[in-house]
């Protein structure tokens, strides 16, 4: 029998057994990237961690019984400014950035919609974009105004925080503390300093849409409303799991909860809230000014995506993670060893020693420790596959690394043939010359009982 899944819930500050609202349909939402520029390696953390959870849920509940929505924020100040500076539309900018993002995360072993969706069936993985959900945002905003939870002021629509008696239940911050934080620069049209923007007027040149609530001027949505709209559209008024980075708890997730619950009159927006810890680089906060800002693409220039994925999963998702060269080197050595054990063997049964810790709030460190102990190729491969690792056969991987190293395979084969001929003629000097030429190309040859094999130095 499959183990019970337990998850740590930010809403209750407790680990509890996971029970989906609809036992035959698990629904999960994760806040995805703001696509204005190449994503950094910190952004890869929620992508990888919640991909692992998606894989685990699919295993536990069956692939047809899990729906995952991970949104794309494709309108915000940074996007608008950059598109304007380049003289292109925000759609042109975000289409390009999103394509690059997809290319990068695919190499991190992240499942993509096209990997899991089945023609003619309910989609299992959707990647909704904010600008495709303006109508849903407007419906929620108008619902909130009608219910007395939002008001129009100076061309804006604002959420009326004091109208929600239990506002703040997710972040559990005292009201006065939140107010003090918000009071730094309070717009004059806000009734309470905590009130937040649902809709605002667009400045000249900014993208705009017809405004809700009879406002004459066109405008654009605030940030938080997009996730209430997209989760509603794709998962329903209430759903099972809502995930994102720990920085999003307040105000983003708190405000999503306020919008969705007050619009739909529900007790919860999502039952379980998961938050990943932050990533820092070599012991320091990652930032452009410190010069230690690393994009996913930077990492992939030096390392196979699988190495980066394993390096990310070694730390429990809720802990802070220190991204180091040492961690990547270690992950690389581990994968070398595992590929050596697995060879071209097919996956066997997922070992309990991997499934159980993963089902315990994604205890990846224990699951990986079990993989280290395994010496049966089939179990090792099955356990690793569940974590999105050891996805290739040894042969395919060697082929891949040969291509990656830029080695001309037909040239290598010709040289090996020449070396074989030289050895057959007992021309050792010629044979050594050929071997040296191969070594200079980064190719090592080995003569074994089954003939000559060659590999590219890692």
Q: Which positions touch Zn ion (CB under 5 A)?
A: 31, 227
Interface with ligand AMP (CB under 6 A), residue from 20, 46, 219, 304: 46
Decide which of Zn ion, ligand AMP, none touches 278; Cβ closer than 5 to 8 Å per partner kind. ligand AMP
CA atoms within 13 A on the CB side of 69: 25
- Least separation in angstroms between CB 28 and Zn ion: 13
- The entry of Zn ion, ligand AMP, none near residue 431 (CB within 5 to 8 angstroms by kind) is none
Please say whether the beta carbons of 317 and 362 come within 8 A. yes
- Partner interacting with residue 388 (select from ligand AMP, Zn ion, none; CB below 5-8 Å by kind): none
CB of residue 45 to ligand AMP, shortest distance in Å:
4
How far is residue 349 CA from its own chain's centroid?
Answer: 27
Which stretch, 271-279, 377-385, 418-426, 449-457, contacts ligand AMP (CB under 6 A)? 271-279
C-alpha to C-alpha distance for 362 and 113, rounded to whole angstroms: 22
Q: Which one-letter DSSP state was computed for residue 157?
A: E
Q: Which of 262, 273, 197 is nearest to 18 (CA)?
A: 273
Among 279, 328, 380, 438, binds ligand AMP (CB under 6 A): 279
User: Which of Zn ion, ligand AMP, none has residue 128 at its interface (CB below 5 to 8 Å by kind)?
Assistant: none
**Binding pattern to ligand AMP, positions 74-113, x when CB under 6 A?**
----------------------------------------
Q: Which is nearer to ligand AMP, 294 or 347 (CB)?
A: 294
Q: How many helices, marked H, and strands, marked E, lie in the chain? A: 17, 15
Q: Are strands 66-70 and 26-30 parallel, antiparallel or unpaired?
A: parallel
Which range in 59-67, 214-222, 274-282, 388-396 contacts ligand AMP by CB under 6 A?
274-282
Closest CA to 354 of 334, 338, 331, 372: 372
Pick 21 or 38: Cβ nearer ligand AMP: 38
Least distance between ligand AMP and beta carbon 389 (Å): 20
With CB cut-offs between 5 and 8 Å by kind, which of Zn ion, ligand AMP, none does residue 227 bind? Zn ion
Q: From Zn ion, ligand AMP, none, which one binds at residue 219 (CB under 5 to 8 Å depending on kind)?
A: none
Q: How far is the CB of 132 from ligand AMP (least distance, A)?
A: 18
- Alpha-carbon span 334 to 104, nearest angstrom: 22
Binding status of residue 377 toward ligand AMP by CB under 6 A = no
Nearest distance in Å: CB 323, ligand AMP:
9
Work out how close the CB of 40 gets to ligand AMP at its nearest, in angstroms, rounded to a whole number. Answer: 7
Phi, psi of 160 (to 5 degrees): -90, 95
Which tokens hold the place of 169?
């239940």
**Contacted entry of Zn ion, ligand AMP, none for residue 383, CB cut-off 5 to 8 Å set by kind:** none
Look-up of token digits 């949505």: 221
Q: Report how far apart the first and last C-alpha atoms of the chain are (Å, whole number).
A: 41
For position 34 contacting ligand AMP by CB under 6 A, the verdict is yes
Q: Which stretch binds ligand AMP (CB under 6 A): 26-34, 176-184, 407-415, 417-425?
A: 26-34
| Of residues 157-186, those binding ligand AMP (CB under 6 A) | none
Which CB, 61 or 278, lies closer to ligand AMP? 278
| Collapsed DSSP state (helix, strand, coil) of residue 409 | helix
DSSP code string of 197-246: EEEEEPPTTS--B--STT-SS-EEE-STHHHHHHHHHHH-SSEEEEEEEG
70 is an interface residue for ligand AMP by CB under 6 A: no
Burial class (CB in 10 A: 0-12, 13-18, 19+), 436: exposed
- 332 touches, from ligand AMP, Zn ion, none (C-beta below 5 to 8 Å by class): none
Query: Which 323-342 residues touch ligand AMP, going by CB under 6 A?
Result: none
Contacts 24+ apart (CB under 8 A), 289-297: 293/40, 294/40, 294/41, 294/323, 295/38, 295/39, 295/40, 295/41, 296/38, 296/39, 296/40, 296/41, 296/43, 296/44, 296/101, 296/104, 296/105, 296/108, 297/38, 297/100, 297/104
CA distances from 86 to 80, 129, 423, 449, 458 (A): 10, 21, 62, 62, 40
Residue 278 binds ligand AMP, judged by CB under 6 A: yes
Alpha helices for 236-351 (secondary structure H): 254-264, 296-302, 305-313, 325-342
Indicate whether 231 belongs to the interface with ligand AMP (CB under 6 A). Answer: no
**Shortest spacing between CB 289 and ligand AMP, in angstroms:** 15
State the binding partner of 189 from ligand AMP, Zn ion, none, CB within 5 to 8 A by kind.
none
Q: Does 49 help bind ligand AMP (rule: CB under 6 A)?
A: no
| Identified binder of ligand AMP from the candidate list 247, 336, 436, 447, rule CB under 6 A | 247
Count of chain residues binding ligand AMP (CB under 6 A): 15
The 8 Å CB, 24+ separation contacts for 365-368 are 365/314, 365/315, 365/316, 368/310, 368/313, 368/314
Which residue ranges make up the site for ligand AMP (CB under 6 A)? Answer: 31, 33-34, 42-43, 45-46, 244-245, 247-248, 276, 278-279, 286
């Amino acid at each position: 029998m499959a183990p019970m899944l337990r998850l740590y819930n930010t809403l209750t500050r407790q680990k509890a057994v996971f029970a989906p609202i609809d036992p035959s349909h698990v629904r999960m939402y994760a806040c995805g990237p703001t696509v204005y520029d190449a994503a950094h390696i910190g952004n890869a953390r929620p992508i990888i961690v919640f991909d692992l959870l998606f894989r685990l849920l699919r295993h536990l509940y069956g692939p047809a019984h899990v729906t995952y929505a991970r949104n794309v924020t494709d309108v915000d100040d940074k996007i608008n400014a950059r598109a304007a500076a380049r003289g292109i539309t925000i759609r042109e900018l975000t289409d390009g950035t999103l394509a690059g993002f997809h290319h990068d995360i695919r190499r991190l072993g992240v499942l993509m919609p096209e990997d899991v969706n089945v023609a003619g069936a309910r989609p299992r993985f959707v990647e909704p974009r904010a600008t495709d959900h303006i109508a849903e945002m407007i419906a929620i905003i108008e619902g909130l105004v009608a219910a007395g939870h939002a008001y129009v002021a100076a061309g804006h629509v604002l959420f009326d925080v004091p109208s929600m008696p239990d506002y703040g239940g997710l972040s559990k911050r005292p009201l006065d503390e939140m107010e003090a934080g918000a009071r730094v620069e309070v717009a004059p049209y806000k009734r309470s300093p905590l009130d937040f923007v649902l809709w605002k007027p667009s400045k000249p040149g900014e993208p705009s849409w017809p405004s809700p609530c009879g406002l004459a001027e066109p405008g654009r949505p605030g940030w938080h409303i997009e996730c209430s709209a997209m989760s509603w559209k794709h998962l329903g008024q209430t759903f099972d799991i809502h995930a994102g980075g720990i920085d999003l708890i307040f105000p983003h997730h708190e405000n999503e909860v306020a919008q969705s619950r007050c619009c739909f009159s529900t007790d919860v927006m999502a039952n379980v809230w998961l938050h990943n810890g932050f990533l820092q680089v070599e012991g320091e906060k990652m930032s452009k000014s410190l010069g230690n800002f690393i994009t996913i693409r930077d990492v992939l220039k030096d390392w196979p995506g699988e190495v980066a994925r394993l390096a990310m999963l070694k730390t429990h998702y809720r802990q802070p993670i220190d991204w180091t060269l040492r961690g990547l080197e270690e992950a690389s050595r581990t994968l070398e060893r595992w590929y050596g054990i697995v060879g071209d063997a097919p996956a066997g049964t997922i070992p309990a020693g991997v499934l159980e810790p993963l089902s315990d709030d994604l205890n990846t460190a224990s699951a990986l420790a079990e993989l280290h102990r395994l010496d049966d190729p089939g179990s090792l491969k099955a356990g690793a596959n569940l974590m999105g690792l050891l996805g290739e056969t040894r042969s395919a991987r060697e082929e891949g690394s040969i291509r990656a190293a830029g080695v001309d395979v037909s040239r290598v084969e010709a040289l090996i043939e020449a070396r074989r001929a030289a050895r057959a003629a007992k021309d050792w000097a010629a044979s050594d010359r050929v071997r040296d030429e191969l070594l200079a190309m980064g190719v090592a040859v080995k003569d074994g009982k089954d003939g000559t094999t060659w590999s590219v130095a890692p």
